[in-house]
Structure 1
Amino acid sequence: MGEISITKLLVIAALVVLLFGTKKLRTLGGDLGSAIKGFKKAMNEDDAGARKEADSDVQVEKLSHKE
């Protein structure tokens, strides 16, 4: 009873398609994909900003040690 077989997954998938329809599922998938892309882009921009700040801090430290 605790196992999920391929037939159970197919039945659930068929019920979801019948309830929502393919057009609504396609739209939902597109929205989910764009949300994930936006999240990844924001994370990469945040990482780039943090690296830039860290690099500038290292440059300041190098200059101050030379004096």
Structure 2
Amino acid sequence: MKAKDLRSLAVEDLQMKDNEMREDLFKLRFKHGIRRLENPAKLSQLKKDIARVRTVIAEKKQNQSA
């Protein structure tokens, strides 16, 4: 997911997306503990996407307060 695409979303949408991604990450970690994943690189990609979403949320909140 590109940061450019994320910047066009509202803060509420970004927070919902963050919650969904964190839930997906939890499920993937759980599956990874039980058995091998088909694509273990998905874990690191999901972590990076979560970081992007959280960065954009922080930027938007900072711009609103300024």
Instruction: State the TM bucket, normalised to the shorter chain.
Output: 0.3 to 0.5
Bigger Rg, structure 1 or 2: 1
- State the TM-score, normalized to the length of structure 1: 0.45
Greater helix proportion: 1
Higher RCO structure (Cα 8 Å, ≥6 apart): 2
